[in-house]
Amino acid sequence: MEIIPAIDLRAGQVVRLSAGDFARQTTYAADPLAVAQRFEAAGLRRLHLVDLDGARAGRPVNLGVLETLARHTALDIDFGGGVQAGAVAEEVFSAGARHLTAGSLAVRDPAAVRGWLARWGAEKIFLGADFRGQHLLVNAWAEQSASTLSGFVADYLAAGGHTFVCTDVSKDGLLQGPSLAVYKELRAQFPAARFVASGGVTTVADLEALADAGLHGAIIGKALYEGTIALDDLRRFL
């Protein structure tokens, strides 16, 4: 299972939200590069970079940070937040992202994202499923869509996608454990898919449980910043 640290950006700083609520923000660092380099020095190879400003604005706002991280680290970066058009996706890849996570647009305009899959391939285009209960959230988690998590996965598997970043917004940033039962159900229903768990990962035991359940990856955010998981604890997974 891949261990993927997260950096969420707001006004160029490293922050975390609680349950997707922009009014419940904790700022952890002013220098995202220093944070990313610390992750890299610990042996981590991946980075999940989220442009929270971009998610709200409907266009990336922190591409300069992406460029800096890509230039000064060798981390394999997947980027999400505000990418609404193919031309913007090109800018994200040009700025140094190796993967792009399509979230709200993948729900609202599946034809566009199917086009991205055809153009760039499933290794570069990940599908972001931000969910609460059975339904997906869009527009920086402000709106509940009619799309269900299982329906979303089924549709994009049929379209050639294979990597799904599944974030339980109700758990994100709360350090209450991941939605293990949901991920187990998804794995049983869609064995061909790669699922990356996001939201609520709090302890090494959580990571072990996700690995045992067959998750392709696990994103860790607040647990690293609050110290409930230490970077040294991750060596067994690398």
For 68-80, what is each residue's pLDDT tens digit?
Answer: 999 999 999 999 9
Q: What is the mean pLDDT of residues 26-34?
A: 96
Catalytic residue among 51, 53, 130, 206: 130
In the predicted model, is pLDDT for residue 173 greater than 90?
A: no
pLDDT tens by residue, 82-121: 999 999 999 999 999 999 999 999 999 999 999 999 999 9
Answer whether 0.85 is exceeded by the pTM: yes
In the predicted model, is pLDDT for residue 231 greater than 90?
A: yes
- The CATH number corresponding to 2-237 among 3.90.550.10, 3.30.70.3270, 3.30.300.250, 3.20.20.70 equals 3.20.20.70
Instruction: Give the residue extent of every domain in the chain.
Output: 2-237
Radius of gyration of the chain (CA): 16
Q: What is the mean pLDDT of residues 123-152?
A: 91
Q: Is 8 a catalytic residue?
A: yes
Q: Is 206 a catalytic residue?
A: no
Catalytic residue among 8, 51, 78, 168: 8
Residue 5: which residues within 8 A CB-CB, separation 6 or more?
39, 44, 46, 47, 48, 219, 220, 221, 224
| DSSP 8-state symbol, 81 | S
